[in-house]
Amino acid sequence: MSDQIYDVVVVGGSWAGLAAAMQLGRARRRVLVVDGGRPRNRFAHSSHGFLGQDGRSPAEILDTFRAQVLAYPTVGFRAGEATTAHASGDGAFVVALSSGDPVQARRLILATGVVDELPGIPGLAERWGRTVLHCPYCHGYEVADGRLGVLATSEAAVHHALLLPDWSDRVTLFTNGSFVPDAEQRAALAARGVQVETRVVAALVGDAPGLTGVRLQDGEIVAVDALFTATRTRMASGLAEALGCALHEGRLGPIVRTDARKETSVPGVFCAGDAAREPHGATWAVADGATAGVAAHQSLALAAARAPIGSR
């Protein structure tokens, strides 16, 4: 391990991690960003809703972010995985890297994101991010006025289905055996013009990644151009757990618990982006990253102010 100690190691160099590193680079702190190169929205051709970048591909946007952040001379970048991390006992942290020797840092920012666990329906995975979509705010505009479906994974799909008529008046909710809508839910869905299909879904059909329909178990095909579904999510990295950070159960999956400054239950470890919040989205991830970057900087600066003269 090198003797050199970084002020901050940021694990995850996507929306949240690069936003954190930007603040720290501008504060002239020594920062290393470690990134595995697997942002959650890499399956989509274009990203939407992020001001100034609307409609560009996720990869192009991250290239722009990375170039701007790495222009700050105190920010370094390492491609590869942070495989584990632990507190070193002197208030610092040691991070093991797949790309070489471990590195040390006074503060850690985890911006490692989440992984979507896709429903195991034949034909769904190859359409993910293209015609099978997670969020109408991100991709609804592009499929507006088409035949839209909502594939339920739980009762929460009713909420999803009640929103979608703002994008199309042809919406079908496929309950797929995940719940039985009650009378109140059926009335609300009918009031919004949403059809309810309770038969079990067998497969998605069409020339993938295109979609023309949802095949039901009895063989009937319901014509659909785009299908929305809420996935379960899991942590993309085990680092938060390895460090002892507290997690709690969110609506979609586990989330790292943080305070308003994005500091976790482990002092000196911050967490930003999808791994530490709901709802998810690039704009929120960037906002959280900036918050964590500023908070990590301030914790370093104020700790130095409290340290006895001579030990700084």
Of 226, 211, 41, 40, nearest to 123 (Cα)?
A: 211
Beta carbon nearer to ligand FAD, 35 or 225: 35
Which structure tokens are listed for 211?
A: 């979609």
Does 113 sit near ligand FAD (CB under 6 A)?
A: yes
Site map (CB under 6 A) of ligand FAD, residues 260-299, x = contact: -------------xx-----xxxx-x--------------
Q: What is the DSSP letter of 176?
A: T
Using the rule CB under 6 A, give the single segment among 109-117, 146-154, 163-171, 297-305 that binds ligand FAD: 109-117
Does 48 sit near ligand FAD (CB under 6 A)?
A: yes
Q: How far is the CB of 125 from ligand FAD (least distance, A)?
A: 12
Q: What stretches of 203-281 show up as alpha helix (H) in DSSP?
A: 239-243
Q: DSSP readout, 98-167?
A: TTEEEEEEEEEEE---EEEE----TTSGGGBTTTEES-HHHHTGGGTTS-EEEE-SSTTHHHHHHHGGGT
- Contacts with ligand FAD: how many residues (CB under 6 A)? 40
Residue at shortest CB range from ligand FAD: 273
Among positions 127, 134, 160, 170, the unique one binding ligand FAD when judged by CB under 6 A: 134
Beta carbon nearer to ligand FAD, 48 or 170: 48
Count of all residues that appear for the chain in the document: 312
Q: How far is the CB of 171 from ligand FAD (least distance, A)?
A: 20
Does 37 sit near ligand FAD (CB under 6 A)?
A: yes
Beta carbon nearer to ligand FAD, 113 or 293: 113
Does 15 sit near ligand FAD (CB under 6 A)?
A: yes
Which structure tokens are listed for 111?
A: 């911006």
Does 11 sit near ligand FAD (CB under 6 A)?
A: yes
Among positions 41, 53, 131, 229, the unique one binding ligand FAD when judged by CB under 6 A: 41
| Chain Cα centroid distance, residue 101 | 28
Q: How far is the CB of 136 from ligand FAD (least distance, A)?
A: 11
Asked if 34 and 306 touch (Cβ cutoff 8 Å), the reply is no
Helix, strand or coil, per DSSP, at residue 230:
coil
CA distance linking residue 177 with residue 182, whole number of Å: 13
Phi, psi of 228 (to 5 degrees): -100, 140
Among positions 66, 103, 116, 291, the unique one binding ligand FAD when judged by CB under 6 A: 116
How far is the CA of 124 from the CAs of 27, 133, 186, 247, in angstroms? Answer: 45, 10, 26, 30
Which structure tokens are listed for 191?
A: 């009031």
Of 40, 38, 19, 21, nearest to 29 (Cα)?
A: 21
Beta carbon nearer to ligand FAD, 50 or 174: 50
Among positions 6, 9, 22, 39, the unique one binding ligand FAD when judged by CB under 6 A: 39
Does 109 sit near ligand FAD (CB under 6 A)?
A: no
CA distance linking residue 158 with residue 9, whole number of Å: 41
Q: How far is the CB of 13 from ligand FAD (least distance, A)?
A: 6
Q: How far is the CB of 102 from ligand FAD (least distance, A)?
A: 13
Among positions 20, 94, 111, 164, the unique one binding ligand FAD when judged by CB under 6 A: 111
Q: Binding residues for ligand FAD, per CB under 6 A?
A: 11-17, 34-41, 43-44, 47-50, 81-82, 111-113, 116, 129, 134, 138, 236-237, 239, 273-274, 280-283, 285
